Chain A
Amino acid sequence: MAEPAVTQDQEKEEEQKVVDDGIDVGISRLTTDKIETVINQVLKTETGARLKTYVNTCIHCGLCSEACHYYMSHDKDPKWSPVGKVKQTIWEMIRKKGRLAPEEIRRVVEIAHTECNLCRRCLQFCPFGIDIAYLISMARRICHKLGVTPKYIQDTAHSHSVSMNQMWVKGDEWPDTLQWQEEEARGEFPTLRIPLEKEGADIMYSVIAPEPKFQAQLIYQAAAIMETAGVNWTMPADKGWDNSDMAMFTGDNEIMGRIKRSHFETAVRLRVKRIVMGECGHAFRSVYDTGNRWLGWSHPPIPIVHAIDFYYELLKENRIPIKEKFKEPVTLHDPCNVIRGGGLMEKSRYVAHALCDTVVEMHPNREYNYCCCAGGGVINCGPPYKLKRVKSNKVKAEQLMEARTRGAKVIISPCHNCHSGLKDIKNYYDLHMDIKFFGDIIYQIMEKPE
């Protein structure tokens, strides 16, 4: 491979050396011996045949490179390509038999946590089905075991460990917030309830902690939709209400298991038939795939229904009366965890068309959509990496811009992280587009009591 050209951007980024306590302090405590022990222990006892097969199968054909928004946004610099990233992390570890110097681990953490969204777009293009995201996740697991994880996401994992939610929401703050939203909503829907701890309801509705913390109106909207559609639902008053999972992204599998156990056992305790989750992508991956499996449940013990699927069902059954369709032309962002990971692409389109007059497809779309660059825990690594994150998704900005030239004014993004990530991209690249959840639109256009 040719030596990559150094761009101005890279120079600038290198100048602004990131200060991150989570990494800096962690590295200062490492020795090559410790690194060697940890790497070999993880590679030997936790990876098995899968890692070996991937490593032995990859023929370095580069077919996956153009799939990656990092690579495409950095002038096709090979160091940002999927395989380029694996080369600098897992392969390097294997090549050196685990003997990496502490400073070499710094680069591993940066790549693993801030230069790959685990979005699996590259997997779509690999003729051998090599899952780069799995390899990068292993690198994160090793970083976790070494005690070097970016501070912000580590703090979030700590929050999960203490409170079983992502944002240090305390035991009283959660039910209090729900009751406050319920009271507010009664101004508009006089008999509305957010039924807490209602055993035997059909559905447990679960959200991610930023909702009660910063976006309580989303809970209000969800309650309004449930009320209007006549759903028999409940929300837990105690731990288990948060479906998010940053521990999954820091490689702290034990905490991931603990928070997923809490989520599922809460649903079992409430005797609900299904868990409906809000518009979140990564949480879906955790409850639908990664977290349940770590616990030994090959499938979620209580079925998980993503909001897209749930809205699809309600709209299909005409359970949400619509006053008037949404007028402004929208474009649809396909969050990888629910589209590539959950196959909800056509249902998402059904919902969009049922709600909006004009839906302008962005290209590429569906399972080939470009990631928002926020997911996989990248945005959760916080402000130190924000600039890198937005610059690494020029290709997303171009994709959105192109949809805008064809009339799209609003981006619908049924995923929290995508929402935040797209907002940063929109601001940085001056896109002048609004971003909405499906829930925002449904609430806006549905019939409400006079």
Chain B
Amino acid sequence: MVDQSKWDWETREKEVPFDPWKENFNWVEEPYASPDGEQVAAVVNIDEGEFNVCVNGETWESPFEKIWYLRYAPDGRLTALVSDMAEWTVAVDGVPWENKFGYVWNTLFSPDGKHIAVAAQADGQYCMVLDDTPWETTFQNMTYFAMSPDGSKTAAVVQVTDFGEGEVHKFQEGCFTAALDGNAWDTKFVNVWNMAVSPDGTKLAAEVRLNLYEYSIAVNGQVWDKSFPCVWEPVIHPIDGSVVAPVRTAGKWTLAKDGEFLWDARFPQVWHQQFSADGKILAAIVSPKYGRWTVAVDGRPWGVTFGTLVSDLVVSPDGSTIAALTKEGETWKVVVNGAAWKDTFDMAWRPVISPDNRYVGAKVERQGKYTVVVNDRVWQKECDAAWDPVFSPDGEKVLLRTLENGRYLRRVLPVTEITG
């Protein structure tokens, strides 16, 4: 994790003019704020086929022919996918990686920001590239991607057997598998989808389809003893390494662990299961009744249900706070530990839990204006853009990053200024 204690939690307000950029460039694309709030950046167009990145008013040293997917790594490095002379690579703080490719996409960051990976294609062959080092093995196709929690390993679903258009039976014999750091499993599957890598990097688990009808989870190429009519993405227990995935049985869904049913309850839907950091709590988004949605913790659904959608499940490291977004018709709400907040929004972003569990906050939008809500209290500022709130390590303060009247603002406020 990034050490946020080193950030400036004292200065109440810092400002970067943003609108004047528009005078210097043909156009300025959507801005991104750095995690510590010290920077605001955007892709800018300088001339026909000439782009750059502007950070706090200064452009990177050299422009590129194309730039997309500008994103800050959690440690504050600014990355983008860039192209010159029909070659693509990753630029980090303006410096392109040495390796160039036919195309790169799908940037992944480790939570501490130390590692950056992308999917790459060169001469029609595919591999992952981690911190400018491509896999030694390449594949003819690559479809799903993952990174180990510590960022030291990358994984992908890869095609290992050729099949021609319309060769349906050859396809059904299994032409895909998963690869960790370029090492493909020996077992082949009809399909392989979402993967998870264990914290120690020794285990790669993935959803697999064994034939057109049987689904299961494979761990390091070894399939669970049981198969199911459908499965969803696995997660790995952060401490004991067991693998947990939603599985379908008799037309309903539940969770299974290492191939055995884990929850007794059966639901019309179960997905997005998540462990607390200590592995003691397991929560998931479930549909307890067709057309109704909620969160279940250790198999028990919250008493409150929602009609349209539940998304963005967040579990605090100790499992004591569980938050999610809910949608009824067109309106979004935040729900925490089974209680929905009273305020509704036109859009809401993934909730953020303070390190001491005292506060839950979220970026929200109403009628095109953005603000932040903390513990069901809406901050009384209407901004042209906002980013997720960040709580200080001691939970006393909140970092707010916004765009207001053409200015980018970094504010540090006592949380109580919002919550009252």
Q: B-contacting residues of A (Cβ < 8 Å)?
A: 21-22, 25, 45-46, 144-145, 147, 151-152, 154-155, 158, 161-163, 168, 170-172, 175-176, 179, 183, 186, 190-191, 193, 195-198, 200, 237-239, 252, 254, 257-258, 261, 265, 268, 271, 273, 295-299, 301-303
Contacts and interface: CB of A to CB of B under 8 A. Distances in A.
Contacts of A25: 169
A254 B309 contact: no
Contacts of B165: 155, 168
A227 to B, nearest CB: 12
A254 B365 contact: no
B68 interface: yes
> Which interface residue of B29, B105, B168, B172 has the most chain A CB atoms within 10 A?
B168
A186 B48 contact: yes
A179 B68 contact: yes
A175 to B, nearest CB: 6
A24 B270 CA distance: 38
B69 interface: yes
> Which interface residue of B212, B290, B327 has the most chain A CB atoms within 10 A?
B212
Nearest to B308: A301
A83 B330 CA distance: 42
Contacts of B250: 45
B141 A170 contact: yes
Nearest to A265: B311
A179 B191 contact: no
B24 interface: no
B261 interface: no
B335 to A, nearest CB: 15
Interface string B308-338: 1101000000000000000100100000000
Contacts of A297: 291, 308-309
A158 B168 contact: yes
Given A170-B141, A273-B346, A252 B119 contact: no
Given A154-B168, A237-B105, A258-B230, 13 more contacts: A161-B209, A162-B159, A163-B143, A190-B48, A196-B69, A237-B106, A254-B248, A258-B193, A296-B269, A296-B290, A296-B293, A302-B309, A303-B330
Interface of B: 26-27, 29-30, 45, 48-49, 66, 68-69, 102-106, 119, 121, 126, 141-143, 159, 165-169, 171-172, 176, 190-191, 193, 209, 212-213, 215, 229-230, 248, 250-251, 268-269, 271, 287, 290-291, 293, 307-309, 311, 327, 330, 346-347, 349, 365
B319 to A, nearest CB: 24
A145 B229 CA distance: 11
B266 to A, nearest CB: 13
B19 to A, nearest CB: 17
Given A158-B171, A295-B269, A200 B102 contact: no
Given A155-B165, A179-B68, A147 B212 contact: yes
A172 B309 contact: no
A238 B81 CA distance: 14
Contact of B230 (A179, A237, A254): A254
A168 B290 CA distance: 33
B69 A197 contact: yes
23 contacts: A21-B169, A147-B212, A158-B171, A171-B105, A171-B121, A171-B143, A172-B126, A176-B103, A190-B48, A191-B45, A196-B69, A197-B68, A200-B347, A237-B69, A237-B106, A254-B229, A261-B271, A271-B349, A296-B269, A297-B308, A299-B308, A301-B309, A303-B330
A296 B168 contact: no
A191 B27 contact: yes
A169 to B, nearest CB: 11
B327 A172 contact: no
Contacts of A186: 48
A38 B27 CA distance: 60
Contact of A268 (B105, B190, B309, B365): B309
A300 B183 CA distance: 40
A176 B83 CA distance: 11
A145 B213 CA distance: 7
Contact of B166 (A21, A237, A239, A265): A21
Nearest to B230: A254
Contact of B168 (A21, A168, A179, A299): A21
B234 to A, nearest CB: 15
Contact of A179 (B66, B121, B349): B66
Contacts of A162: 141, 143, 159, 176, 191
A151 B168 contact: yes
Contacts of B271: 261
A172 B105 contact: yes
Nearest to A295: B269
B309 A252 contact: no
A117 B215 CA distance: 30
